[in-house]
Amino acid sequence: MPFLPVVHCRKYICPCIHSALYYFIYLFFLVSLLGEFLFFFFFFFVFKTLGEIIHAYIRTNNYIYIFIFIYWDLVLLPHVCKEGTMDRFISSAVTVGKVILVSVVGIWISQHFHNKEKSLKALSYISVKIFLPCLLFSQLAKDLSWDMIHKYYWACILPLIPMIFGFCTALAFRPFIPAELHGLLLLSCTFQSIVSYGLGIVLNLDISWWSKEDRSEAQSYVFLFNLLHSLFLWSFGTMIVEKGAMALEEMKATAAVATAVSAEDDGDDAITSMRNTSGALVEMEECFGAESHQSAGQLEAYQPAPEINSTRDVVERENKCTADLTWPEYIRVQLPYLLSEQIIASFLGLLVALVPPFYLLAKNPVGEVLMGGISFLAPGAVPLQLLVLGVNVTADDEDDSKKLPICFLVVVILLRLLFIPAICFCIIHILVVNALMPYDKPFILVMLILTSAPTAINTSSICSIYSYKVKEYTKVLLFMYMACIFTTTVWLTVYVWYLDS
Band (58; pLDDT cuts 50, 70, 90): very low
- Per-residue three-class SS string for 88-142: HHHHHHHHHHHHHHHHHHHHHHHCCCCCHHHHHHHHHHHHHHHHHHHHHHHHHHH
Please tell me the predicted confidence (pLDDT) of residue 358.
78
Residue range 313-323, pLDDT digits in tens: 433 434 444 44
Instruction: Please state, in angstroms and rounded to a whole number, the distance separating the CA atoms of residues 478 and 126.
Output: 22
Q: Look at residues 463, 471, 481 and name the one whose alpha carbon lies nearest to residue 417.
A: 481
At 123, the amino acid letter reads: L
Band (424; pLDDT cuts 50, 70, 90): very high
- The residue that leads in pLDDT, 161 or 356, is 161
Q: Look at residues 170, 192, 86, 145 and name the one whose alpha carbon lies nearest to residue 447.
A: 192
Please tell me the predicted confidence (pLDDT) of residue 31.
55
- The residue that leads in pLDDT, 368 or 93, is 368
Instruction: Please state, in angstroms and rounded to a whole number, the distance separating the CA atoms of residues 405 and 397.
Output: 15
Give the whole-number percent of the chain exceeding pLDDT 90: 6
Residue range 187-225, pLDDT digits in tens: 889 988 887 788 778 877 777 788 888 887 887 788 888
> Residue 425 — left, alpha, or beta (φ > 0 → left; ψ -120 to 50 → alpha)?
alpha
Q: Look at residues 93, 112, 107 and name the one whose alpha carbon lies nearest to residue 37.
A: 93
pTM over 0.75: no
Please tell me the predicted confidence (pLDDT) of residue 114.
79
Instruction: Please state, in angstroms and rounded to a whole number, the distance separating the CA atoms of residues 224 and 199.
Output: 12
Q: Which residues pair with 192 in a beta bridge?
A: 455
Name the least confident of 68-72, 243-247, 310-314, 321-325: 310-314
| Number of residues written out for the chain | 501
In this prediction, residues 1-19 reach a mean pLDDT of 43
Please tell me the predicted confidence (pLDDT) of residue 107.
77
CB atoms within 10 A of CB 363: 9
CA distance to 56, 141, 153, 227, 351, per residue, from 356 (Å)? 65, 12, 20, 20, 8
Mean pLDDT of the chain: 71
3-class DSSP assignment, residue 192: strand
In this prediction, residues 245-256 reach a mean pLDDT of 74
Check if the beta carbon of residue 121 is closer than 8 Å to that of residue 187.
no
Please tell me the predicted confidence (pLDDT) of residue 304.
45
Q: Which domains does the chain have, with CATH numbers?
A: 1-83 (no CATH), 88-254+342-500 (1.20.1530)
